[in-house]
Amino acid sequence: MWPKEAFGGSATYGFPVGILTISTRHALLPGNVQNAQSFPLPVVYEEVAVEDPHVLMHGDPALLPAIISAAQRLAKQGVRAVAGACGSFAYYQKAVADAVDVPVFLSILTQVPFIQQSLGTRKKLCIICAAEFTMNERVFAQCNITDTSNLVIRQMCGHPEFDRMVKATDPMDPAKMRDEVVAVSTGALRDDRTIAAFLLQCSDLPPFASAVQQATGLPVFDMTLLIRWLQSAACYLPYSGMTRAQAARL
């Protein structure tokens, strides 16, 4: 249905979700947040000038103006939600949400309180992250994570193929990477049988979410899945189908 009035103001339009990215050089497999083929609807990317990812992973406050500016550029293009392609954008969640007029989910960690409610008091959520030091009080506060007692943290740093991917100097072997992610997941489950779900904090890990689920039999949450949910919320398609007609009364 056409609107009564249509307005311009942007060279492109029609993207339900805009995604903040940083400069990366490693392989971006299907399923990765920065691979546009991971999503059923179009996405638009806006790069934040961050040459060293470790600066973002430490939550440098000096990055905030550039991140806000990038989010505002996405909003100007008409996106209905803004997401982040790196879990460490979580450091800036509240400030960016205040700076734009659309919903903001800069990290899958924003979903942790929601997932915790589903697990009750006796079950745990295992977060598989790039580096454990990024799971800190600053990030938890930004994502309204007030209870960490039922969180199990495991990191990918220190595993050969993951480290090779991060360095981006040699080609990555996706099968080896998958095996490392699965090994971390199954190892965590062996150590703690109260784990009832997994959350992949790093946006390089969703390509292996299906393998984690097959190996553990548990629900798996990640940023790619969250963005697909945002797309559905931003472009809610009407239901269609047949309904039973009332028979004419004689």
Tell whether 134 and 202 lie within a shared domain. yes
Structure tokens at 110: 């924003």
Let me know: does 130 contact 24? Beta carbons within 8 Å: no
Structural domain includes residue 22: yes
Question: Do 113 and 212 belong together in one domain?
Answer: yes
pTM over cut 0.75: yes
119-178 per-position pLDDT tens digit: 988 999 999 999 999 999 999 999 999 999 999 999 999 999 999 988 887 888 999 999
Q: What is the CA radius of gyration of the chain?
A: 20
Q: In this model, does residue 54 exceed pLDDT 90?
A: no
- Record the tokens describing residue 216, joined without a space: 């553990």
Query: Under DSSP, is residue 114 helix (H, G, I), strand (E, B) or coil?
Result: helix
Is the residue at 102 inside a domain? yes
DSSP code for 46 = E
Mark whether 37 and 50 lie in a shared domain. Answer: yes
Between CA 227 and CA 112 the distance in angstroms is 15
Q: Is residue 129 part of a domain?
A: yes
196 shares a domain with 100: no
The 10s digit of each residue's pLDDT in 195-244 is 999 999 999 999 999 999 999 999 999 999 999 999 999 988 888 888 88
Output the domain CATH number for residue 148: 3.40.50.1860
- Pair 137, 215 in one domain: yes
Token code pair at residue 241? 């189908």
Of the chain, the percentage scoring pLDDT greater than 70 comes to: 96
**Domains contained in the chain, number:** 2
Residue 47: both structure tokens together: 């790069």
Given strand 151-155, what is the order of strands in its sheet?
A: 151-155, 124-129, 195-200, 220-222
The model's pLDDT over 30-43, given as tens digits with 9 standing for 90+, comes to 999 999 999 999 99
Question: Are both 38 and 88 inside the same structural domain?
Answer: yes
Give the count of beta carbons closer than 10 Å to the beta carbon of residue 213: 15
168: which DSSP letter?
T
Range of the domain at 210: 109-221
**Residue 35 shares a structural domain with residue 114:** no
**Token duo for residue 112:** 């942790």
Q: Cα–Cα distance between 221 and 201 in angstroms, integer?
A: 9
Rounded Cα distance between 95 and 47, Å, is 18
Same domain, 88 and 120: no
CA 80, CA 174: separation in Å to the nearest integer? 33
Structure tokens at 106: 């800069």
